[in-house]
Amino acid sequence: MTMKKSPITLGLTSATLGLTLAFPTFAEADFFEDSKADLEFRNFYFNSDYRQPNASQSKRDEWAQGLILNYQSGYTEGLVGFGIDAIGLQGLKLDSSPDRQNTGLLPVGEDGAPDSYSRMGATAKARISKSVLKFGTLIPKLPTVLPNDGRLLPQTFRGTQLTSQDIAGILNGVVGGTAITQVRDSIYLVNVVGRARAIERTSLDTLQSLQVGLSNGTVVPLLAFAKIDYDLEQPIVWRRNRVATITVRAAIMDDTQPPTVVAALQPDIDAFVKSLPEGYTLETGGAVEEAAKGQGPIAAVVPVMLLTMAFFLMVQLQSVGKLLLVFSVAPLGLIGVVPALLLFDKPMGFVAILGILALIGIIVRNAVILVSQIEECEAEGLAPWDAVVEATRHRMRPILLTAAAASLGLIPIAREVFWGPMAYAMIGGILAATLLTLLFLPALYVGCYRIQPPKAA
């Protein structure tokens, strides 16, 4: 039997109110000065409706209120500080019934959920320097143990937990280093790291002679409570798409674009791939991969864009021949795009391709305007040749002014690093395509429809 489950969970998410209890202040005792207590209110409503015929229970719907009182004391003075923590948890039923229980908010009973339930816990703790030992009720947050806090009251554990920052801090300072300050390098902030010399970081004798400082100023040898020895350990395995991966990085010293470098190295890369053992693959990453990710979705939409443009142009022109004439002028923009990018040393990248796609629309628009004007002139009674000439002369000034305005509007972003290639591609394409449209399209129109010039009287 297959049960379909489509839960609808409405959460009046936990509203937390912190209340701090005041205790008498004793200058000689941090136990009371550092004590604090928080009272947290949680209000959860859970609704899961997966109704199905002949099901024993097809709906879960409960509403409950939770209260969590968390008290944490400070530590007594001395080499070893002692303290105690306490936690009290109580859940109150606001709405539930036996046929709607099992949401996890309230305990399950034969007669339905109880009106209230609670539990308490205490934790004894001791602190030496930055090491803390706890025993009793715990809510740990560790990689291996994480309490479930997704319902009304959090999950608690009973046990012992030791947390030490002393040894970790000392070893990290010797081996990995500790950031002391920062210096500015151009627009970057570089950490100044203090650590042992390379010969000392890799020496076992250095670690064996380390001294651990205590809170009272005395030091204890690390070997007094730790054993250091050489052993094999699983190294860090870097993964890409969940596959163990070795990454080789390199930087380009000049202005050569990454796709150009990859294309030049491709024969050597292919030969290297053939020499790899079975099961090994090689993939190109970096800027080339990111550019491909950006261009892929665009390439998938371009056919839809062209078909949509063809549909609306067919509605406007109502002629397949004129539709082909209009589309034939679209590639003219590349005549201006390539020289503009070469002249200003801009790459033909993702942003430039966006500019070329926008340029197609501008060129097609000018062509539609010119062809429509020719049709209007012919409808007014002009001869075909005279109609082509008059339409070109009549529309030349508006088309040139529109192209100039569009080109000038792109100048402010032409100096930008990111938008510069698109601006130069569109400026060069608009200027070249506009001039060529006014010359090429009328000549192509005359040639396709075999229009003859009027004979001299």
Task: Record the tokens describing residue 404, joined without a space.
Answer: 């100039």
Q: Which of 15-29, 85-99, 337-351 has the highest mean pLDDT?
A: 85-99
Helices (H), 209-349: 258-274, 286-317, 320-328, 333-343
Residue 2: pLDDT above 60? no
Q: 135-144, pLDDT tens digit by residue?
A: 999 988 876 7
Mean pLDDT within 304-320: 85
DSSP one-letter string for 417-438: TTTHHHHHHHHHHHHHHHHHHH
Residue 63 has pLDDT above 50, yes or no: yes
Quick one: pLDDT band at residue 7, thresholds 50, 70, 90?
Answer: very low
C-alpha–C-alpha distance, residues 407 and 423, integer Å: 8
Question: Helices marked H in 329-419 — which ranges?
Answer: 333-343, 350-379, 384-409, 411-414
Q: Is the pLDDT of residue 5 over 80?
A: no
User: Under a CB-based contact definition with an 8 Å cutoff, are residues 47 and 60 in contact?
Assistant: yes
Tens digit of pLDDT for each residue in 391-413? 888 888 888 888 888 888 888 88
Query: What is the C-alpha separation between 363 and 223, in angstroms, rounded?
Result: 79
- The topology (CATH level 3) of 169-224 is 3.30.2090
Q: How confident is the model at residue 52 (pLDDT cuts 50, 70, 90)?
A: low
3-state secondary structure string across 183-196: EEECCEEEEEEECC
> Which of 81-85, 344-348, 389-393 is predicted least confidently?
344-348
Tokens of 209: 């002679």
- What Rg do the C-alpha atoms of the chain give, in angstroms? 38
Give residue 440's pLDDT: 85
Which has more confidence, 29 or 103?
A: 103
The answer on pLDDT for 9 being more than 60 is: no
Q: What is the mean pLDDT of the chain?
A: 81
Q: Is the pLDDT of residue 24 over 90?
A: no
CB 222 within 8 A of CB 212: yes
- Give the up-direction half-sphere exposure of residue 11: CA atoms within 13 A in the CB hemisphere: 11
pLDDT over 70 (residue 416): yes
Q: Work out the average pLDDT over 355-380.
A: 86
**Residue % of the chain over a pLDDT of 70:** 89
User: Which DSSP letter does residue 175 get?
Assistant: I
Token pair of 338 as six digits: 């390539």
C-alpha distances out from residue 270 to 61, 266, 287, 312, Å: 61, 6, 20, 46
Average pLDDT over residues 317-338: 83
Percent of the chain with pLDDT over 90: 12
Name the residue among 71, 44, 39, 72 with its Cα closest to residue 60. Answer: 44
Q: How confident is the model at residue 19 (pLDDT cuts 50, 70, 90)?
A: very low
**pLDDT of res. 351:** 84
Q: Which residue has the higher pLDDT, 414 or 211?
A: 414
pLDDT higher for 223 or 109? 223
* Over residues 279-295, mean pLDDT: 82
Residue 414's pLDDT is: 86
Rounded mean pLDDT, 3-21: 31
Listing DSSP states for 138-173 in one string gives E----SS-----SSSS---EEEEEEEE-HHHHHHII
Domain residue ranges of the chain, discontinuous segments joined by +: 30-50+58-163, 169-224, 306-448
**Can you tell me the mean pLDDT for 92-121?**
84
Measured in degrees and rounded to the nearest 5, phi and psi for residue 374 equal -65, -45
Q: What was the pLDDT predicted at 54?
A: 67
Report the interhelical angle of 350-379 vs 384-409 (nearest 10°). Answer: 150
* pLDDT, average across residues 99-119: 82
| Domain boundaries 306-448, corresponding CATH code | 1.20.1640.10
Q: Which residues of 68-85 are buried (b: 16+ CB within 10 A; e: fewer)?
A: bbbbbbbbeeeeebebeb
Tell me what pLDDT residue 39 has.
93
Model confidence at 234: pLDDT above 70: no
Using pLDDT thresholds of 50, 70 and 90, give the confidence band for residue 14: very low
Packing angle between helix 420-448 and helix 384-409, nearest 10 degrees? Answer: 180
C-alpha–C-alpha distance, residues 281 and 197, integer Å: 39
Run of H or E residues at 33: helix 30-33
Indicate if the pLDDT at residue 18 is higher than 70: no
Helix, strand, coil percent values for the chain (each to nearest 5): 40, 20, 35
Confidence of residue 84 (pLDDT cuts 50, 70, 90): very high
The one-letter code for the residue type at 448 is C
